[in-house]
């Protein structure tokens, strides 16, 4: 029912379709779907690893910034790797003031309350030998970062600031180490400590502690990825990074965790910079660093404070946009890095892979070991680290200056396609606020040429909240407050400005409207001639709810249509016969009076929450995992593997899933007959595709058409598009 009820209550005459917004229901039949609309479709669902909160933390007084328990994700090793361990310390910057730490405490970087329940293990954490040839079967651990000081803060600092913040990074590190040692790491034969960015710095800080707590005969080494930060002035000559680290060290008493030989010789915060203490590390270390590290370019060399006139605005986002004078500065930054690691280069036990890419944090990404990975001397990072760790050969690789390395291509996110956040100037007048009272916002990329009078609006998804408690928690995240919005986001897929990725809409005015109300928001766009309203998940549902409003506020002669991605949610019972999704949406509708925004013809005929189209599907994590098989009816965990990976389902489970597909096909039956509507319903194990698998050589196809081609054919009336895929597993392009 649900969406079917919403659509049935509309009038489907040809004249209204031509005047009103036309809905193409772009639905991915999801046997398992991710709540994150930006999740990578290449992630094997079986490689999602559950969160575990530390059992040793409370007794050690080890807490995240907000007082919640720290956690980690553990994938057990097997076979030859059963006594080998790899620990990865998550990164995520630092906080240097009470205010910034307080804000951080309301995010996943300061509170385990906001940790994902499962994360994908990729790159150096992958269990796929083709992606991770040397370490795929080791015990692998991702330690979550929630202290804001590279796992090095001390509680004594808490008593100085009269807040409820917990500065316990060092205790978090020690507590999780204790726990892992009790789980078998105390018998390790091989071990690696690694991490990225702030976690890469933490790797260097804690490397010898890691070594000293493992068996003497174990082969123990450390790999720091993007953690070699330089103490250099910014382009205006100001010591931006030095001042920042000084404040971090002072606020959280980090000096107690730093190399004491270094601290005895100089101001403690200088000992946060690897150049000053790496020579004192006894354990073998491998450095992975990009010579043109974009994080350091944007925050150390050219921070916002040093670019008031925005001379660096494009260059700092994309090295390809730099002029000759700017490139000279960046080459100077590279030279500073090469000089800083000069002494370490002579260390016979050390190793390094210093490429000339404009990237950051490479070992958990596809740049670790893929056919398209960056290479130096024809070696990937994975091959280089493996050669060094297993002593197959010496590895001291320093790339030639940019742009000589042809194996480097700008990462999948083109830095020039990052689009800035803008808070709504009309919001206060309209009384339009996020859950916490902050202003709503959007990201706008201006159209050009033939697309200058064409508009595409994308409504962000992100589930919903059904109770005061859940909405209060949500109000302390980016899904309830613009205070936590990213300042810039990449425009990809249907939002991309690359014609090879987005052939029909690349030069349109494109807008991503941020979601911060928890009940499928409403926007107020204006456009001319051509326009599309679209969105994913909760945003896909909002697209259907607000489609006619969008149409009614645009010129009558405009071609206005709507594209809903992953927003068609079914009102079906779970495997035990309980109305899980129905109950959930009833609570959402009741809590926020959503019925006032729903189709009133439908509301007049039935209980409002049924009319809502099952508003905001992703307030539960996964459609199949929470609508059809939520945790509550799977107490015996018979579905635990099948829910994550359809390839692991047995015949009986597949029968249930095929029945779910049949329910979907039945639900859209009436809409299928509408000659103005369109659809692309594939049988893939995915969700929210139009910003991901929109149009690339590896994109899913039906009748040899990508989603982008299908939507383009439909929007421009090149041909009717009513594509329904064959049942799983017939489509080999998934």
Give the residue numbers marked as catalytic.
Answer: 197, 293, 360
**Residues 670-674: contacts with CB under 8 Å, at least 24 apart:** 670/4, 670/7, 670/8, 671/4, 671/7, 671/25, 672/722, 672/724, 674/12, 674/17
DSSP alpha helix (H) spans, 593-650: 600-603, 608-611
CA-CA distance, 629 to 649, in Å (whole number)?
A: 13
What is the three-class DSSP state of 54?
Answer: coil
For the chain, report the end-to-end CA distance as a whole number of angstroms.
28
Report the residue count for the chain. 734
Residue 349: is it exposed, middle or buried by C-beta count within 10 angstroms (0-12/13-18/19+)?
middle
Helix (H) or strand (E) holding 59: helix 57-60
Tally: H helices and E strands in the chain:
23, 20
Which residues contact residue 73 at a Cβ distance below 8 angstroms, ignoring those fewer than 6 apart?
49, 50, 51, 52, 118, 119, 121, 141, 142, 144
Q: Could you tell me which of 333, 329, 325 has the C-alpha nearest to residue 296?
A: 333
User: What pairs with residue 458 in β-bridges?
Assistant: 512, 534
Per-residue CA distances from 517 to 164, 165, 691, 713 (Å): 27, 27, 22, 34
C-alpha 556: how far from its chain's center? 39
What is the number of other CB atoms lying within 10 angstroms of the CB of residue 665?
13
- Of 475, 480, 467, 711, which Cα lies nearest the Cα of 586? 467
Of 192, 206, 85, the residue nearest 145 (C-alpha): 206
Longest dimension (CA), the chain: 81
DSSP class of 567: -
Asked whether the CA dihedral 681, 687, 690, 694 is positive or negative, the reply is negative
Rounded CA separation 141/612 (Å): 41
- DSSP secondary structure of 381-431: HHHHHHHHHTTSS--EEEPPSTT--TT----SS-GGGEEEEEE-SSHHHHT
Is-contact 628 660, C-beta < 8 A? yes
Phi and psi angles of residue 289, each rounded to the nearest 5 degrees, phi first: -150, 145
């Amino acid at each position: 029912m649900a969406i079917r009820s919403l659509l049935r209550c509309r009038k489907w005459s040809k004249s209204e379709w031509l005047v009103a917004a036309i809905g193409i229901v772009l639905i991915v039949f999801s046997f398992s779907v991710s709540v994150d609309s930006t999740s990578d479709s290449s992630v094997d669902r079986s490689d999602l690893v559950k969160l575990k909160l530390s059992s040793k933390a409370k007794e050690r007084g080890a807490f995240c910034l907000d007082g919640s328990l720290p956690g980690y994700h553990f994938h057990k090793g097997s076979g030859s790797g059963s006594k080998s361990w790899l620990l990865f310390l998550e990164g995520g910057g630092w906080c240097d003031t009470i205010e910034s730490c307080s804000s951080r405490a309301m995010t996943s970087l300061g509170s385990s309350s906001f940790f994902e329940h499962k994360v994908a293990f990729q790159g150096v954490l992958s269990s796929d030998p083709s992606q991770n040839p040397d370490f795929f079967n080791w015990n692998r651990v991702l330690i979550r970062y929630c202290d804001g000081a590279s796992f090095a803060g001390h509680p004594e600092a808490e008593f100085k600031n009269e807040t409820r913040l917990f500065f316990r990074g060092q205790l978090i590190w020690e507590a999780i180490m204790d726990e892992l040692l009790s789980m078998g790491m105390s018998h390790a034969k091989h071990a690696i400590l690694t991490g990225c960015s702030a976690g890469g710095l933490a790797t260097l800080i804690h490397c010898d502690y890691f070594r000293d707590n493992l068996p003497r005969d174990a082969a123990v080494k450390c790999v720091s990825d993007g953690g070699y930060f330089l103490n250099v002035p910014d382009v205006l000559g100001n010591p931006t990074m030095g001042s920042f680290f000084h404040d971090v060290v002072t606020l959280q008493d980090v000096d107690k965790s730093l190399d004491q030989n270094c601290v005895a010789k100089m101001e403690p915060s200088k000992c946060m910079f690897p150049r000053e203490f790496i020579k004192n590390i006894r354990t073998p270390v491998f450095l992975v660093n990009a010579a043109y590290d974009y994080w350091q370019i944007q925050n150390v060399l050219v921070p916002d404070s040093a670019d008031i006139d925005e001379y660096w605005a494009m260059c700092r986002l994309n090295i390809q946009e730099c002029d000759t004078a700017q490139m000279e500065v960046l080459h100077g930054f590279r030279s500073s890095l090469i000089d800083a690691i000069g002494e370490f280069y002579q260390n016979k036990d050390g190793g390094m892979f210093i490429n000339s890419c404009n990237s950051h944090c490479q070992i958990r990404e596809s740049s670790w070991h893929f056919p398209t990975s960056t290479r130096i001397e024809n070696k990937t990072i994975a091959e280089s680290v493996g050669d060094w760790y297993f002593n197959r050969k010496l590895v001291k690789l320093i790339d030639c200056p940019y742009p000589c390395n042809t194996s480097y291509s700008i990462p999948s996110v083109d830095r020039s396609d990052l689009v800035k956040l803008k808070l709504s100037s009309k919001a206060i007048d309209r009384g339009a606020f996020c859950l916490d009272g902050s202003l709503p916002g959007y990201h706008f990329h201006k159209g050009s040429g033939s697309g200058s009078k064409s508009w595409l609006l994308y409504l962000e998804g992100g589930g919903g909240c059904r109770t005061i408690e859940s909405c209060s928690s949500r109000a302390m995240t980016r899904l309830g407050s613009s205070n936590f919005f990213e300042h810039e986001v990449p425009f990809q897929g249907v939002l991309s400005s690359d014609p090879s990725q987005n052939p029909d809409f690349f030069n349109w005015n494109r807008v991503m409207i941020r979601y911060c109300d928890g009940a499928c928001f409403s926007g107020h766009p204006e456009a001319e001639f051509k326009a599309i309203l679209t969105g994913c998940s909760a945003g896909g549902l909002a697209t259907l709810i607000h489609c006619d409003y969008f149409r009614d506020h645009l010129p009558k002669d405009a071609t206005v249509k709507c594209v809903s991605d992953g927003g068609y949610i079914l009102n079906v019972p779970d495997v035990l016969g309980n109305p899980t999704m129905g109950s959930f949406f009833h609570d959402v509708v009741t809590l926020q009076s959503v019925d006032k925004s729903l189709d009133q013809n439908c509301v007049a005929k039935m209980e409002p929450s049924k009319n809502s189209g099952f508003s905001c599907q992703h307030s539960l994590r996964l459609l199949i995992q929470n609508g059809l098989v939520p945790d509550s009816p799977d107490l015996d965990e018979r579905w635990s593997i099948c829910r994550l990976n359809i390839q692991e389902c047995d015949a009986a489970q597949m029968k249930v899933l095929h029945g779910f597909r049949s329910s979907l096909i039945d639900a859209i039956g009436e809409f299928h007959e509408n000659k103005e509507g369109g659809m692309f319903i594939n049988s893939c194990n995915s969700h929210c595709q139009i910003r991901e698998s929109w149009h690339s050589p590896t994109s899913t196809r039906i009748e040899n058409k990508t989603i982008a081609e299908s939507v383009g054919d439909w929007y421009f009336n090149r041909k009717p598009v009513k594509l329904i895929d064959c049942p799983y597993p017939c489509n080999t392009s998934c």
